[in-house]
Structure 1
């Protein structure tokens, strides 16, 4: 790895903790057998009011539905609360699951602040060659609203 950035103390403070460990931005846990699981990225967390919502948790719930073939969750800007969880859903062939059905399915399994609040149905979820969801592509496909610029 590396010891740090030469001559850039600010970058070093942001990138390394007090013990010298690199802050990767990954959200992880270690199970009872000592195995490390990387489950999400801190930068990908949805900031709903004062809460942080991991998209991967909501995606796991969505994937558990027999009506859903694939799904991805992204933050959607919402002025009153900061961001809301928005789901992109690929229906199973023949499924008639609705936006309300998707929201109810998730709401019955998660804390109230984690609920899906917007749904878009798509034909496929864009992914990298490694299978990682390309969230920025989803945001651009849906034509996310521009963030307002404050006047000076």
Structure 2
């Protein structure tokens, strides 16, 4: 790939997060950046760090990319995206992102019920993603609505906790899932991959998060694994982790 970038003078290259991680591990991200006459984009799943300058956001239902960063100045806003079409939400207020435009799908073939649930009568696509705009019009994707953890009367976005966990110098990777709890309904549970040589404990991880979030967002269980299961595009396979957590709990009964 690097040879092709050099020989053909590539001006733009979209990549998936697993490739970004692989390039970073062998020290080629900076070289890729220097070879591109434009910039490289990363999409498919949230980045685990600021390794590539541009992120994009889109769905299959939007016919590809719906919005992306436009220059290096915008790319410095980690986790943000410039808004595409649609009516902007008030700054700071979270809600479901709706999109409308010429690339939006007409519907799901042979599934009128799913189409009606996803598209409204005016053609707005309900993305299922929780987001908010800041005062400068940048769009921040918080998490998938269906993945929010329901802790008592609160909703906890796993992606927010994962970002904090990945900022810990002793953690190589992390994922957060809902774990059933009789009193709270669900509690946030973290699966953590330690960095080589690290002996970070469950208590240390829970304290690290507790010092940075509201009480209802605290991590209340931690499991250690060798790797976080992900799709080829880099999306966390939470269902596998949930099944693992529940099966481990059952074996202890």
The CA deviation at 1:29 is 2.9
Report the Cα distance in structure 1 between the residues aligned to 2:188 and 2:213, rounded to whole angstroms.
12
Report the Cα distance in structure 2 between the residues aligned to 1:101 and 1:3, rounded to whole angstroms.
48
Count of residue pairs the alignment pairs up: 145
Q: How does 1:132-151 map to 2 (within 5 A)?
A: 132-142=235-245, 143=247
Aligned pair 1:47/2:143, yes or no? no
- Runs of 5+ unmatched residues, structure 1: 147-152
Aligned pair 1:74/2:177, yes or no? yes
Structure with the bigger percentage of helix: 2
- Runs of 5+ unmatched residues, structure 2: 1-104
Structure (1 or 2) with the larger CA radius of gyration: 2
Aligned pair 1:122/2:220, yes or no? no
Aligned to 2:165: 62
Relative distance call for 1:145 and 1:22 in structure 2 (3 A) is farther
Report the Cα distance in structure 1 between the residues aligned to 2:124 and 2:154, rounded to whole angstroms.
26
When the two chains are superposed, the root-mean-square deviation of aligned CA atoms in Å is 2.5
Higher relative CO (Cα under 8 Å, sequence separation at least 6) belongs to 1
Aligned to 2:216: 113
Of 78-87 and 133-142, more deviation after overlay is shown by 133-142
Aligned pair 1:83/2:186, yes or no? yes
Q: How does 1:15-54 map to 2 (within 5 A)?
A: 15-17=118-120, 20-32=123-135, 34-54=137-157
